A and B are shown apart, each in its own frame.
Chain A
Amino acid sequence: MNELTQVLDKNGLIVAFLLVGLLTWITDIFSKKVLKSRIPGSALAIFLALFFGYLGGVFADGEKGLADIALFKGLSVLGGSMFRDFAIVATAIGASFLLIRKSGLLGLISLILGIAVFFISGVALAWVMGYRDAVSLCTIGAGACTYIVGPVTGGALGASSEVIALSIGTGVVKTIAVTIFTPVFAKKIGLGSPGSAMAFGGIMGTSSGVAAGLAATDPKLVPYGAVIATFYTGLGCLVCPSLFYLVLRILFE
């Protein structure tokens, strides 16, 4: 037994391939046989993975979900930013350059609209919950954009660590919400063409949420959504601690 533990410990990434492969296998069969393919297997697998991430957090009390348990630590390598970004870039091979160029303006409009919608509604909710100072409001509003924009903004403005943690939490909830609700509402909101996927990526912004949600809706849409969504966090980090903060300060102080 000791030898097996050693092997598993040394080869974390390979163990992660096995785990994710098994999970996909099981959810694919479940989706086909029990749900008659009404919910795609990949959506189920992503949802279950989030659930396991929660369990991991409960048992290991860390910050990396299931990956904090030694046996599963390879998951954080396979699901880390390097492999994630590399695989997203590879999805571009199935995209059409012409379509992306044609929808460039739509992408830009949706990016600006998306950051404004999330920031404003985040600030409004923080205000309702009792926050009144511009720094906290701005940090929480930035967290409603993505879990990276939140701490970057909070750090730049000197927000308290409690507020920064709150902004990260908000951003992670957003990613999860986009992941779960995108396949559910895709048809209802008219998400189905490459052009609409680009607008969707711009409005929702969270690259992991958009990519996971689109993957569960229709994998062909992933590159279109991702190519725009990757600009969202950068643009958010640019305007939240500067322009948006100044506006808030004029409004609240």
Chain B
Amino acid sequence: MIKGLAILSFSFLLGMWSGELLGSWLGINANVGGVGFAMIFLLLIKEYFNKKGCWKADLEFGIEFWNKLYIPVVIAMAASLNVKSALSSGTLAILAGIIPVFIAFWVFKILIKNLPSSHE
């Protein structure tokens, strides 16, 4: 179990590091895609272990636990967002927060329709 968790942590730290490096290379003080890189590292490591035949269910259990913990983490995050100030920072914040979302839903619908390859 702990070995799987170690693999997850290793991918996470490596990914975050890549994100920070890319950020400072681009000259912005932000982590660019760190989580995305970490996910790709994790998938690559899994692929490699699978090919070598040493990916075991026990390894996956340590990662699966965090995978399952994902929704609870989101629930906790939602409860600790600054919902009140978002709603009270005025009409513009509410309009500019909601209307573009609907436009984006519409753009998404068109994009998906015109790119049938994404339906797999």
Q: Which residues of A contact B (CB under 8 A)?
A: 16-17, 20-21, 23-24, 42, 45-47, 49-54, 56-58, 63-67, 72, 75-76, 78-80, 83-95, 97, 99-100, 103, 106, 109-110, 113-114, 117-118, 121-122, 125-126, 129, 140, 143-144, 148, 152, 165-166, 168-179, 181, 185, 188-191, 193-196, 198-200, 203-204, 207-208, 211-212, 215, 219, 222-223, 226-228, 230-231, 233-235, 237-238
Contact = CB atoms under 8 A, between A and B. Distances in A.
Interface of B: 8-9, 11-12, 15-16, 19, 22-23, 26, 28-36, 38-40, 42-44, 46-47, 60, 63-67, 69-87, 89-109, 111-113, 115, 117-120
B76 A79 contact: yes
Contact of B76 (A58, A75, A122, A126): A75
Nearest to B69: A87
B96 A144 contact: yes
Contact of B35 (A50, A144, A178, A230): A230
B118 to A, nearest CB: 3
Given A64-B82, A190-B112, A199-B112, A173 B120 contact: no
Contacts of A227: 35-36, 39-40
List of 7 A-B pairs having minimum Cβ-Cβ separation, nearest first: A173-B97, A57-B84, A169-B89, A234-B32, A79-B76, A79-B77, A195-B118
Contacts of A194: 120
A174 B91 CA distance: 13
A84 B74 contact: yes
B114 to A, nearest CB: 11
A93 B77 CA distance: 22
A166 B89 contact: yes
B87 A90 contact: no
A27 B76 CA distance: 14
Contacts of B111: 109-110, 113, 199, 203
A238 B16 CA distance: 18
A148 B34 CA distance: 15
A112 to B, nearest CB: 11
A23 to B, nearest CB: 6
A57 to B, nearest CB: 3
Contact of A230 (B29, B34, B108, B119): B34
Contacts of B30: 148, 152, 233-234, 237
Nearest to A188: B109
B78 A50 contact: yes
